[in-house]
Amino acid sequence: MNHILQIQKKLNSQGLDALLLTDEKNQRYAAGFPFTDGFVLVSREKAWLITDSRYIEAAEAAAGGCAEVLLYDNAHPKMRLLRRILTEQKLSSLAAEDRKLSHAEYTNLEHLLGLSLQPAGALMEELRASKDEEELRSMVAAQRISEKALEETLQVIRPGMTEKEVAAELVYRMLRFGSEGNSFDPIVVTGKNTSKPHGVPGDTVLQPGDFITMDFGSLQNGYCSDMTRTVALCEATDEMKQVYDTVLKAQLAGIAAGRAGIPGSEIDGAARAVITEAGFGEYFGHGFGHCLGLDIHEPPFANPRGQALMPENSVCSAEPGIYIPGRFGVRIEDVMILRAGGSEVITRAPKTELLIVGR
């Protein structure tokens, strides 16, 4: 999976000779091969992948069809190879990832190359935001792995387990079902800890009558899945069910409002209105969702400040929550593809009512 042609079209439309990619995810997007410890350089007519002996064989197999793969070593330093290409190809208008490099890294590159770089972080963000069908298939496949892992994990959750043990069950099953790794460190919290949206799994023991929130994701071809389910252990109070139902209604309202071509704040607002009307507005502190792809968090965002228009075929999380400090919290998260006419939810895990497990 590579996107050299898409980048080349952007270079032509923006009057740039070439784009230098150093970020691992951008390199994978461009040439289809990560972990190069080098560069991917894309000009209007050609592309080069510069890597070392650890990756050269795999890089030639993965990227050989779309890029010339070059080996750097002590005798042929990568910056020397890069300068040679720029000189031979007469590439003077060179763009770089101003949103991925530190100021020191960016200016050091300018010094080493002897030219002023053009900022191109927005160019890559725009390209990566709208997914093609191959990217979408990878994300759906990652989602199916996560759902299988959840289904099995729900069967083994019992009182007396710890948050860490539940997290370990999820990770083991995702790997067993084919995940390349975690798309982020799983969040598994229970009891009062569920009021912490990004709580870290610890040694807290699962107790009957408590919520358990699980937020986790798999990887396929480098692309992320993301989902959250909140369940109750053995039993649930009417208040717990009310909060869960409120979050679910808010999520469904945001999903119904979701479509390409509108600002993310509009999607967020539809969900936020439901939670506010139910009297829990002060307990919903984060945004409705974020886009994802090769990174678990990608722009644009569906939050109150999200003024950027959501691109067609962008993939956005739908994850409102209510978090009552010192008591409990609920979050329900699906992932949806934003189309011109609405949203397509790719998450299939059950959510229509609060699930009671461990009994």
Which of the four pLDDT bands, split at 50, 70 and 90, describes residue 335? Answer: very high
Which of the four pLDDT bands, split at 50, 70 and 90, describes residue 329? Answer: very high
Q: Both 10 and 78 in a single domain?
A: yes
Q: Both 20 and 69 in a single domain?
A: yes
Of 67, 63, 89, 85, which is closest to residue 76 (Cα–Cα)?
85
Q: Both 125 and 143 in a single domain?
A: no
Is residue 36 scored above 80 in pLDDT? no
Q: Both 154 and 31 in a single domain?
A: no
Of 32-46, 113-127, 244-258, which has the strongest mean pLDDT?
Answer: 244-258
- Residue 132 pLDDT: 98
- Residue 35 pLDDT: 76
- Rounded CA gap, 265 and 301, in Å? 8
pLDDT, one tens digit per residue, over 235-247 is: 999 999 999 999 9
> In CATH, what number is assigned to the domain containing residue 101?
3.40.350.10
- Rounded CA gap, 293 and 299, in Å? 10
- Residue 72 pLDDT: 95
Q: Both 138 and 179 in a single domain?
A: yes
220: helix, strand or coil: strand
pLDDT, one tens digit per residue, over 250-260 is: 999 999 999 99
Lookup result for tokens 């959750």: 157
Of 325, 188, 331, which is closest to residue 247 (Cα–Cα)?
331
> In CATH, what number is assigned to the domain containing residue 339?
3.90.230.10
Q: How far is CA 196 from CA 33, 157, 322, in A?
A: 37, 21, 10
The domain tally of the chain equals 2
Which of the four pLDDT bands, split at 50, 70 and 90, describes residue 53? Answer: very high
Bridge partners, 253 (sequence order): none
Q: Both 347 and 315 in a single domain?
A: yes
Is residue 359 scored above 90 in pLDDT? no
- Residues near 168 by Cβ (< 8 Å), separated by ≥ 6? none
Domain endpoint, select from 109, 129, 149: 129
pLDDT, one tens digit per residue, over 207-233 is: 999 999 999 999 999 999 999 999 999
- 36 neighbors 51 (Cβ within 8 angstroms): yes
Is residue 63 scored above 90 in pLDDT? no
Q: Both 149 and 177 in a single domain?
A: yes
Q: Both 74 and 137 in a single domain?
A: no
Q: Both 75 and 153 in a single domain?
A: no
| Total residue count of the chain as it appears in this document | 359
Q: Both 181 and 87 in a single domain?
A: no
Q: Both 121 and 212 in a single domain?
A: no
* Alpha helix positions (H), 21-99: 24-31, 56-63, 78-88
230: helix, strand or coil: strand
Q: Both 82 and 150 in a single domain?
A: no
* Averaged confidence pLDDT in the chain: 96
* Alpha helix positions (H), the chain: 4-14, 24-31, 56-63, 78-88, 103-113, 121-129, 133-156, 163-176, 238-257, 264-277
Looking at residue 323, its amino acid is Y
Q: Based on C-alpha coordinates, what's the Rg of the chain?
A: 23
Is residue 173 scored above 90 in pLDDT? yes
Which of the four pLDDT bands, split at 50, 70 and 90, describes residue 109? Answer: very high
Which of the four pLDDT bands, split at 50, 70 and 90, describes residue 64? Answer: confident
**Above pLDDT 70, what percent of the chain?**
100
Which of the four pLDDT bands, split at 50, 70 and 90, describes residue 44? Answer: very high
Of 10, 20, 3, 37, which is closest to residue 92 (Cα–Cα)?
20
Domain endpoint, select from 77, 100, 129: 129
- 144 neighbors 223 (Cβ within 8 angstroms): no
- Rounded CA gap, 28 and 3, in Å? 9
Domain that residue 334 falls in: 133-357
Looking at residue 183, its amino acid is S
**Helices 103-113, 78-88: inter-axial angle, 10-degree rounding:** 60
Domain endpoint, select from 113, 129, 145: 129
**Above pLDDT 90, what percent of the chain?**
94
